[in-house]
Amino acid sequence: MLSFMRGGPRLLVAESPDGALADWLGRQGSESPSFEEAFDAGDGESCIVGLVDSVGAPVRLADVRRLFLVHLPVEDLLLRMLSDKAPGRGRVRMAPRLLVIRGAGDLGAVVGRIEDEIGAFPGRFLDLVDEAEDGVILSVTARSLESKVALADLHPVSLHVPRSSLEPRELERLLRLNGLRYLNAGLGDRDWYDLEIRVYDRYEAYGIQLERILRIANALELGLVLGESWSKDSPRFLMSIDVYRIRLASYMVPERVKGFLLGLEYLDDGLRVGDYDLMRGDRKVHWSDAAVDGIRDRKELGMRFRRELLGLLPQADREALSLLEDRLRASRRD
């Protein structure tokens, strides 16, 4: 499934004129040399804490003397500060919340659509962090939200939505409701492709095949799974075989989806473990339609796409895929 929105790390600014809070923070997390490095290593369940001599509004990154990344939700970190009676702590102030939404195609069109409809204020991400006093800083990325999103992955223009314009909870609700529409704005509001994946396996390890395909479809955000069903196919006269069908709505061109499916047909050693046909309506998308880099050999093309998809997967998905493929290999019995 596609993820349309997720939170970024929360930014806190804490007074610590004598620097005593730094030792306590160092035990909770790790010091970062820059905001960019801390952002890249963080996620929606972590905090970036900046130490300053005096808390001001708005937050100024130039005033931050030391930065720490703590992998705790902001509420947990604040409670721990109180329960531990963290030394040298003065006032603490939270910066605007950071949200990242998924885009595709022309990300500038996505930013423009949201700006027009919500009444947000555009600017460079780091400038908005410096200038915004409350509300939400919203950024758009073409990268899958199932993986790490670095500062460099964000569109150059972000949006500030102050609390006076829209409460953060209401903004999140609107983004969830309209996430698909905003993503499609970058694609020129065109129709998505109605595709069908047909899974064939003469060893009938369909449970493993399905789990593997759906995990990759989710991790690579190939589209929305609309349904699954069994049917029969007749590749030759008087011959009937089982086929598992997965219906997929995708914003990716069918040739790109076919490339990833072709990469899944092979394991690292070149063993072919399945046959995945892709249909667009009544037309079959052939493996040769997905050809890139001048490759005209089916297996060579499949191995090329396998390397690409493995490079795009988060570590957790690569490990899960490896376990599934061990089971799939074990099911190959003559």
Query: What letters, b where the CB count within 10 A reaches 16 and e where it falls short, cover 220-258?
Result: bbbbebeeeeeeeeeeeeeeeeebbbbbbbbbbebbbbb
Ramachandran sector of residue 302 (left: φ over 0; alpha: ψ -120 to 50; beta: rest): alpha
Residue 57 confidence class, pLDDT cut points 50, 70, 90: low
Task: Compute the distance between CA of residue 92 and CA of residue 21 in angstroms, rounded to an integer.
Answer: 12
Q: How far apart are CA 4 and CA 252, in angstroms?
A: 16
The DSSP symbol for 272 reads B
Q: Give the model's pLDDT for residue 59.
A: 64
pLDDT for 138:
97
Helices (H) and strands (E) in the chain, counts: 10, 15
Tokens representing residue 28 in the block? 């909770």
Two tokens, residue 164: 């006076």
Spatial separation of the C-alpha atoms in residues 208 and 325, rounded to whole Å: 8
- 156-193 burial code (b ≥16 CB/10 A, e <16): ebbbbbeeeebeeeebbebbeebbeebbbbbbeeeeeb
Residue 231 has pLDDT above 60, yes or no: yes
Give the percent of the chain with pLDDT over 90: 74
| pLDDT beyond 80 at 234 | no
Q: 193-330 belongs to which CATH class?
A: alpha beta
CA–CA separation, 11 and 9 (whole Å): 6
CA distance 133 to 83: 28
Q: For 58-103, what is each residue's pLDDT tens digit?
A: 668 888 999 999 999 999 999 999 888 888 778 888 889 999 999 9
pLDDT of residue 18: 73
pLDDT tens column, 28-51: 999 999 999 999 999 999 999 999
For 102-132, the DSSP string reads: E--S-HHHHHHHHHHHHT-EEE-HHHHHHH-
> Which residue ranges make up each domain of the chain?
5-185, 193-330
The bridge status of strand 97-102 relative to strand 66-70 is: unpaired
pTM strictly above 0.85: no
Mean pLDDT of the region 271-290: 95
DSSP labels, 9-51: -EEEEEE-TTSHHHHHHHHHSEEESSHHHHHHH--TT-EEEEE
For residues 127 and 59, the answer to whether their CB atoms sit within 8 Å is no
pLDDT per position as a tens digit, 149-176: 999 999 999 999 999 999 999 999 999 9
**Sequence-distant (≥ 6) Cβ neighbours of residue 177 within 8 angstroms:** none
Which helix (H) or strand (E) segment holds residue 319: the answer is: helix 315-330
Q: Which two tokens stand for residue 246?
A: 């997965």
